[in-house]
């Protein structure tokens, strides 16, 4: 896949955000097919980890549909607490899933940029 230099810069910025590591920002020139393949796999696995949490949170009826809603939490606490109690193991596993995926891919992707 041929990428423009701007696309490579955008890709390493995404990696920098995911891995919280600014070193990626200096390696746009080194992006290659292996970097792209691993990044695709990383994003797919992160999406899998996060979909379950997103589904859970969107199933809470009182959860606001936009970010500019204030003062909703007090009336929503019972529903949120119920969902979190019921799905606490799933929530923890989703967080661990994301952390594991990030830890698993950081070094291999970084190596492709050397």
Lowest-confidence range among 8-12, 16-20, 95-99, 106-110?
Answer: 95-99
User: CA neighbours within 13 Å on the CB side: how many for 96?
Assistant: 6
Region of residue 77 (phi > 0: left; psi between -120 and 50: alpha; otherwise: beta) = alpha
- pLDDT tens for 44-103 read 998 888 877 777 777 777 877 777 777 777 678 788 888 888 887 777 888 888 899 999
User: CA neighbours within 13 Å on the CB side: how many for 35?
Assistant: 23
Task: Please state the pTM of the whole predicted model.
Answer: 0.73
């Amino acid at each position: 896949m041929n990428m423009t230099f701007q696309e490579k810069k955008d890709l390493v910025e995404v990696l920098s955000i995911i891995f919280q590591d600014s070193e990626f920002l200096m390696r746009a020139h080194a992006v290659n097919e292996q970097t792209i393949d691993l990044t695709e796999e990383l994003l797919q696995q992160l999406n899998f980890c996060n979909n379950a949490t997103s589904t859970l949170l969107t199933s809470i009826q009182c959860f606001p549909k936009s970010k500019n809603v204030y003062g909703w939490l007090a009336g929503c606490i019972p529903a949120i607490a119920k969902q979190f109690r019921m799905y606490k193991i799933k929530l923890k596993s989703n967080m661990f899933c994301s952390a594991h995926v990030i830890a698993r891919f950081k070094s291999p992707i970084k190596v492709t940029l050397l």
